Structure 1
Amino acid sequence: MGENIGAAARAMWNFGLDRMRLVSPRDGWPNPKAVAMASGAGRLLDEAQLVEDVDAAVADTSFVFATTARSREMTKPVYTPEAAMKLAAEKIAGGERVAVLFGPERAGLENDDVARANAIINVPVNPQFASLNLAQCVLLVGYEWMRQQSDVAPVQEGLGDTQWASRDEIAKLAEHYEERMEEAGFFFPEHKAANMRRNLRNFWSRMPLTQADIRMMHGVMRQMVRWKDRG
């Protein structure tokens, strides 16, 4: 379907892949429905190579992955998308040309197509519903390819327009609260005061505070003191 080809192109371009080869598209080529689904990835479709068969599509490559969810009676290594793209990155770095073969959504790749591949990519999915949309499969492989190309931290803190508070800023906040709480008679009885102060310092130091948090907490205490004085 033209829509699937367009969505696959969009998924490829999301992750920096722009060399598409089409094997006998069902609805002919070019296809306006593919262009509509590709959104901003139209250039990729303009440059896509149209070939008659799988042999022509992979003729100039040295290693081919075939994507399939079904078990085949073939002796081939089976990779997850992550492991496959790690191997692809290694081979490409060594000067090889690597291709990933996707089949039509209705029935997937034929056995003869898989026979032309060096290895299989199998996505771990629900065994009761293993059928993936073509573009979804392209997206998964593209995502794993991008992970091999960039060092992205698994967790990033979104700080907005602030920064993490320094130890000195946290210490000054702790002093501010201790002073006001001392005036309020919080540290009582006397023989427990030292331990209470230590616990309060530990409370502030173990929290991941930003500079905006520090300013807000200073403001909270100042406003509470003003409110008390008005009474």
Structure 2
Amino acid sequence: MTARDEGADLHPIDPSPVVVLVRPQLAENIGSVARAMGNGGLFHLRLVAPRDGWPQDRAMRTASGAYRILESATVHETVADAVADLHRVFATCPRPRHIVKPLLTARGAAAELREIGNRGLRMGLLFGPERAGLDNDDIAHADSLIRYPLNPDFMSLNLAQAVMVMAHEWWMARDATPARDMITHKTHVATKGELENFLTHLIAECDASGFLRNAPKRPGMVRNIRHFFQRGEVTEQELRTLHGIITELAHGRPGARDQGAPEHG
């Protein structure tokens, strides 16, 4: 498999916005943009008057497999031509001035884009040149503006980062991944019954060793032991390991090996 073949499986999974780079200056940045687009499920790229022309081999070197996006990119002389077939256009604009248009966060824009796409309309995202961003004439082609809520004392992003923020929000607007999960591999989260069996074993050995010999304090100490293991998702494999530790510690006491303590795997 060649490096270019590695990106062959990139394909749109649903209607996604067109990314329009207006007067991009560096081929490497265009390649990095394609990589960010692939990460977030954006697959349509248009270039308006790229400074060094197109195509550019240097873009391929920074695309990291997103070659299909670059190979299918189209080049346009003007913003008007690049957005002519679109129904809605959003422009990224870090400091909108003297402009009367709806202003959205990246997350808000992603939600609107999803709704627009669900109605079968075509939409686009405008990103300006690396040094100066979009000018007022570029923004005049947009219906809405997008401003990222970042640290107001430092809002500097390079072109690929700006695209990555929108790509991530576009993806997250449809993603159903749980906010928190537990990786258990070949084991499973222990049931309360399995946990109770372990705690019975542990407390019995704590009694046998004399650790719980202070009768007045014993109930509180037992509760603390229970709380320690009940507050997390202990796995069945971890309980078996702990059973084994307790058994070996019990065997280690003088005379305990002769008493035939139970084995735990």
- Partners of 1:47 and 1:226 in 2: how far apart? 70
The residue identity in structure 2 corresponding to 1:132 is L
- Partners of 2:229 and 2:30 in 1: how far apart? 55
**Are 1:72 and 1:111, in contact at CA under 8 Å, matched by a contact in 2?**
no
Q: Does 1:142 align with 2:171?
A: no
Structure 2, gaps ≥5 residues long: 1-25, 257-265
Match of 2:127 in 1: 102
**Are 2:207 and 2:213, in contact at CA under 8 Å, matched by a contact in 1?**
no
Shift of residue 140, structure 1, vs aligned partner: 0.5
Structure 1, gaps ≥5 residues long: none
Shift of residue 188, structure 1, vs aligned partner: 3.3
Match of 1:75 in 2: 100
- Partners of 1:43 and 1:199 in 2: how far apart? 58
Deviation larger for 197-206 or 169-178? 197-206
Q: Deviations over 1:6-33 (max 9, x none)?
A: 1101110111111111101100111111
Q: Does 1:179 align with 2:196?
A: no
TM-score, structure 2 normalization: 0.81
Q: Does the C-alpha gap of structure 1 residues 39 and 185 become closer, same or farther in structure 2, counting only changes over 3 Å?
A: closer
The residue identity in structure 2 corresponding to 1:40 is G
Shift of residue 155, structure 1, vs aligned partner: 2.0
**Are 1:69 and 1:131, in contact at CA under 8 Å, matched by a contact in 2?**
no
Q: Does 1:228 align with 2:253?
A: yes
Q: Does 1:170 align with 2:195?
A: yes
Q: Does the C-alpha gap of structure 1 residues 198 and 149 become closer, same or farther in structure 2, counting only changes over 3 Å?
A: closer
Deviation larger for 202-211 or 68-77? 202-211
Match of 1:57 in 2: 82
Q: Does 1:115 align with 2:162?
A: no
- Partners of 2:161 and 2:216 in 1: how far apart? 66
Q: Does 1:129 align with 2:129?
A: no
Q: Deviations over 1:62-105 (max 9, x none)?
A: 11100111222110111110100000001110111110000110
TM-score, structure 1 normalization: 0.92
- Partners of 2:41 and 2:176 in 1: how far apart? 15
**Are 2:101 and 2:144, in contact at CA under 8 Å, matched by a contact in 1?**
yes
Q: Number of aligned pairs? A: 231
Matching residue within 197, 216, 220 for 2:241: 216
Deviation larger for 121-130 or 84-93? 121-130
**Are 2:33 and 2:159, in contact at CA under 8 Å, matched by a contact in 1?**
yes
The residue identity in structure 1 corresponding to 2:78 is D
**Among the aligned pairs, what percent are the same residue?**
40
Q: Does the C-alpha gap of structure 1 residues 166 and 69 become closer, same or farther in structure 2, counting only changes over 3 Å?
A: same
Q: Deviations over 1:157-205 (max 9, x none)?
A: 2334432111111011011112212222344344655555455444433
Q: Deviations over 1:126-166 (max 9, x none)?
A: 33333310110000000000001221222222334432111
Match of 2:20 in 1: none
Q: Does 1:27 align with 2:38?
A: no
The residue identity in structure 1 corresponding to 2:138 is D
- Partners of 2:75 and 2:123 in 1: how far apart? 18
- Partners of 2:91 and 2:68 in 1: how far apart? 25
- Partners of 1:108 and 1:85 in 2: how far apart? 20
The residue identity in structure 1 corresponding to 2:248 is Q
**Structure 1 or 2: more helix by fraction:** 1
